[in-house]
Every structure is written in structure tokens, then in C-alpha cells.
Amino acid sequence: MTFNPRLFNSMVVTDTCSIWNILSAQKLYKASFGTSLMFLTTPMVIFECLKKPRKSTSPENEELIRRLLEVRKQGKFSMQQCELSELLEIAKSAPLQLNSGELSCLAMASKIKSIAFMTDEKRARRFAETRLGLYVETTAKLYGWLHYHRHLTDADHQELIAEHERYEKRPLTVHLNNAYRTAHECRLKDRETKQ
């Protein structure tokens, strides 16, 4: 992963997988919401997270839903509408595998160019960057940014990874570890440059 951990867009529209990844570790979401960053989402993403029927459920799923409801009460992941016409325009050229939540976030980010699209799904990320020219953020980039700016400490790292792995079926462990290392390397380079 090559990215600059010094930078992260101040306003992002988050899709379903990003919401679950952020909420998968308490220290991650508390650090994220303790910054000046603004996390937005769309009604379709909230529907996918809270209302869409699931084939099965688990205590971990129920806990993530509880966390989402709790942070929404605090005003986090506020919803922004996108017009149906904008959604249809994006859907015409989007890969078939993208879901309606991702499409709604893409439509919103396309409309308001200063907002980045946050996703951990490769196809959505590639389409947003190459076809739509959008700024794209990921949970791993957020994690690196939080470490670079010391919103998370070294002591948080292993505990956060372990909790994330417990709550996610497809954990981002490799990407989070890479982001953690990149953040430390950049901070070390910056310190050497100042001397």
C-alpha cells in the first residue's frame, strides 16, 4: 500500500463495508470520531446496514448494529440524499457487482467533488478513481492517518487488530499493519528532515 498518512480527506461518504470496518474496533471508531473528520453516508447504506434482511446473524453482527445505532444517535454517519437521476447516471457505467449502497455513495461524491468516497471494496475503489476521478479513502488509510497524527498509540495497535479480526469475516489485518508501518516510517522521515 502506497499512500501518504499525513493526509486524509476531511469529509467522506462511507459505504457499508467501511462503516462495518470502522465500527469493528472501539478504539478505531472512537479515535476517528474524536477528530475533525466528518463521516457521511446515504439512506441506502443505512438501509443495507440496519434493515436489509440477512441470511444469518451472529452476536458480532448484533454488536456492530448496536454500535452503529449508538453513534448515529451522536450524529455520526449523518445521512445525505442523492437524487435518483444521479444514481441512475452512475449505475449506467458502474460494474454490475457494485451494490446500491456503493452506487449511492458514488453518486453523492460525484455530485459534491469536495467529498471523498470511502470504501474497502476493490471494484468500487477502482471505478471511483479511474472512471469518475473521485478522491477515494479506505479504512487502512484512515488508520495510517490516525497513527501518523497520534490519535492512536502504539499500545492500541495489537488490541485494535485483535478486536477487528473478531468482528470482521474478511479482516483488513494486512492493510492495517501496512498502514501502521507506513505512518511510523513517514513520521521518522519527517523527524529526520527537521533535524
How far is it, in rounded angstroms, from Cα 70 to Cα 77?
Answer: 11
How far is Cα of residue 112 from the mean position of the Cα atoms in its chain?
18
Cβ atoms of 50 and 43 closer than 8 Å: no
26, three cell numbers: 472501539
Read off the pLDDT of residues 93-146 as tens digits, 9 standing for 90 and up.
Answer: 998 889 999 999 999 999 998 999 999 999 999 999 999 999 999 999 999 999
How far is it, in rounded angstroms, from Cα 72 to Cα 48?
Answer: 15
Read off the pLDDT of residues 61-92 as tens digits, 9 standing for 90 and up.
Answer: 999 999 999 999 999 999 988 888 888 899 99
Other Cβ atoms less than 10 A from the Cβ of 73: the count is 8
Cβ atoms of 38 and 12 closer than 8 Å: yes
